[in-house]
Amino acid sequence: MDIFSADNDTICAIATPIGEGGIGILRISGPGALDILQKVFRPQRDSVALQSHRLHYGWIIDPVSGDRVDEVLASWMRGPQTYTREDVVEINSHSGFGVMDRLLRIVLTSGARLAEPGEFTRRAFLSGRIDLSQAEAVIELIRSRSEENLRHAGRQLQGGVRSLVESWRENLLSLQAQLEAFIDFSDDLDEAEPAETEAIVQDLSSSILVPIREMSRRYDEGRVLREGLTLVLAGKPNVGKSSLLNGLVGRERAIVTPHPGTTRDVIEDAFILSGVRVRVMDTAGLRPGGDSIEALGMEKTRQSISQADVVLWLLDLSRPLDDEDDSVFEFIAGRRTLLILNKADLPACFGAEDVKQRYQLGDAAPIWALSVLRPSDLLTLRSQLKTSLLDRPLLTSASGEVIPNLRQKQCLDQAAEHLEHALSLLHDQGLGELISYEMGQARKALESILGVEPDDALLDRIFGDFCIGK
Ligand SMILES: Nc1nc2c(ncn2[C@@H]2O[C@H](COP(=O)(O)OP(=O)(O)OP(=O)(O)O)[C@@H](O)[C@H]2O)c(=O)[nH]1
Ligand SMILES: [Mg+2]
């Protein structure tokens, strides 16, 4: 792709968060980058020529007024060994709204225009330095909020998705070429050697379709890595929900009192479980009746439960099961639920079996008896949560699997569908040209993961998600 065919102007943006800080970075990219730097930057040692990929110490000067604006370190990097493959300039200045704003205006009046969100990365893509899946990994990396998520984005940035998809694509191309060689001899495949068609079927299925389906399946589990999990604590009043929240996040986040109805609002916090971010919501105790404030709180509880990936339902072992517990059960019906029998340090009024019977739960339902006030029980609970919620081979860091995002998954599913058509046509000895067409469509779907021939709307959607300056 020719980088000078489209947006050939020079763009600039503040690349660091706006606000007071030690250092702020202004980034410029495009053919005019060096020229602009020379207009606005005075190196301390005038005689030294600006060298590529070196830091230079000096001052930013307002070319109009001649004012010294800030003491900076500036670098100029000659393309193509840069983020965008264009000439890139970075100015490290002090960071504060006034300084950065002045700097930006000086650079803008010296010949650059303000970059759109994600435009630097878009240029890296258009110049062919990275493919679309790697550009998406940049956003994921910036947004990642847990170690596991970060690790995955890093793998993707290094081309994890790209190399797999490219290998399927190559493979598909060569199978299509083999197939077309038959078609040259006959219209129908029934005249081709059965052994040869069989070999194509085998290859198409085992080395392309199966791994494509496998990667697509990982999407759901991968969502957990990207977005984390939402855990909602539910139960009747006074069972220990707020105590559990505090125990899980390791601080006194919610008020705990011996009075039922203490929590009236949804209280949210987060903790990290095996590298995955878990958002946890403590809710108002559920019970029929109650005053109007409690009723509002219960409505909010209902909303939280509807957003939950998993509900932790707490029961109080020290009091008999009652109709308040029954109404909680109705409230959370249909949600993925784990049960905690809390206050196991006190004499118990019932056991796990009674709960299973009363609510007709299967034997497989996880029920854990513990006291959320005991640190050792909390540790056990954490590891039980880990096993129930996260322990799939995929989520262990060593697996190195790549996980598609939603867009990539949709492309994979399309590719798989075309491959299945091709396979069933091959099986029925259908028209060779149709088979070849389906294989071509599958290849196109794979190529759209990489961003071969992307349309502008798609690029706008992907890069519009970035911040300005990236
Ligand atoms: N003995 C014992 N007491 C507990 C345990 N867990 C919580 N409690 C006590 O139970 C009372 C209620 O705890 P909370 O955490 O406020 O209960 P809650 O479910 O948030 O109550 P509401 O906000 O009113 O719905 C407090 O006095 C806690 O100290 C436990 O495992 N053992
Ligand atoms: Mg509470």
Q: List, for residues 17-69, the tens digit of each pLDDT value.
A: 877 788 999 999 999 999 999 999 999 987 668 899 999 999 999 999 999 99
Question: Is the CB of 263 within 6 Å of ligand 1?
Answer: yes
pLDDT of residue 5: 40
The more confident residue out of 370 and 388 is: 370
Burial letters for 48-74: b for 16+ Cβ neighbours within 10 Å, e otherwise? eebeeeeebebbbbbeeeeeebbebeb
pLDDT-derived band of residue 279, with 50, 70 and 90 as boundaries?
very high
- Phi, psi of 437, deg, nearest 5: -60, -45
The more confident residue out of 89 and 149 is: 89
CB atoms within 10 A of CB 143: 15
pLDDT of residue 8: 79
Question: Is the CB of 373 within 6 Å of ligand 1?
Answer: yes
Judge whether residue 398 has pLDDT over 50: no
Q: Please state the rounded mean pLDDT for residues 164-169.
A: 94
High-pLDDT (> 70) share of the chain, % = 94
Looking at ligand 1, which atom is closest to the CA of residue 260? 24
CB neighbour class for 288 (10 Å; exposed up to 12, middle 13-18, buried from 19): exposed
Distance between CA 326 and CA 219 in Å, rounded? 36
Q: Please state the rounded mean pLDDT for residues 335-341.
A: 93
Question: Is the CB of 240 within 6 Å of ligand 1?
Answer: yes
Query: Which of the ligands is closest to the CA of residue 254?
Result: 2
Cα separations (Å) of 48 from 57, 58, 60, 70? 11, 11, 16, 20
Q: DSSP label at 431?
A: B
pLDDT of residue 123: 94
Supply the angle between the helices 147-157 and 160-183 in degrees, to the nearest 10.
40
pLDDT-derived band of residue 156, with 50, 70 and 90 as boundaries?
confident
Q: Please state the rounded mean pLDDT for residues 112-122.
A: 92
Q: Which of 319-323, 331-335, 463-467 has the highest mean pLDDT?
A: 319-323
pLDDT of residue 459: 86
Per-residue pLDDT of 221-232, as tens digits, reads: 777 777 788 999
The neighbouring-strand residues paired with 463 are none
**Residue with the nearest Cα to atom 11 of ligand 1?**
258
Mean pLDDT of the chain: 88
Looking at ligand 1, which atom is closest to the CA of residue 282? 20
CA of 266 to the centre of ligand 1 (A): 16
Looking at ligand 1, which atom is closest to the CA of residue 264? 23
CA of 355 to the centre of ligand 1 (A): 20
pLDDT of residue 158: 86
pLDDT of residue 132: 92
Helix or strand (DSSP H, E) at 61: strand 54-61
Please name the residues in contact with 111: beta carbons below 8 A apart, sequence gap of 6 or more: 10, 32, 35, 36, 39
pLDDT of residue 3: 36
**Residue with the nearest Cα to atom 9 of ligand 1?**
240
pLDDT of residue 455: 81
High-pLDDT (> 90) share of the chain, % = 58
Q: Are 470 and 118 in contact (CB under 8 A)?
A: yes
pLDDT of residue 251: 93
SS3 53: coil
> What are the residues whose beta carbon lies below 5 Å from ligand 2 (ion)?
241-242, 262-263
Q: Please state the rounded mean pLDDT for residues 244-271.
A: 94
pTM above 0.85, yes or no: no
SS3 113: strand
pLDDT of residue 391: 63
pLDDT of residue 295: 82
Sign of CA dihedral 321, 326, 332, 336: positive
* HEC readout, 305-374: HHHCCEEEEEEECCCCCCHHHHHHHHHCCCCCEEEEEECCCCCCCCCHHHHHHHHCCCCCCCEEECCCCC
CA of 252 to the centre of ligand 1 (A): 13
Per-residue pLDDT of 183-203, as tens digits, reads: 665 555 555 567 778 888 999
Question: Is the CB of 126 within 6 Å of ligand 1?
Answer: no
Pocket test of ligand 1: the residue of 241, 256, 259, 313 to mutate, having most ligand atoms within 8 Å of its CB, is: 256
Query: Which of the ligands is closest to the CA of residue 298?
Result: 1
Residue in the block written with tokens 């946890």: 280
CA dihedral (158, 400, 387, 314) in degrees, to 10, reads 20
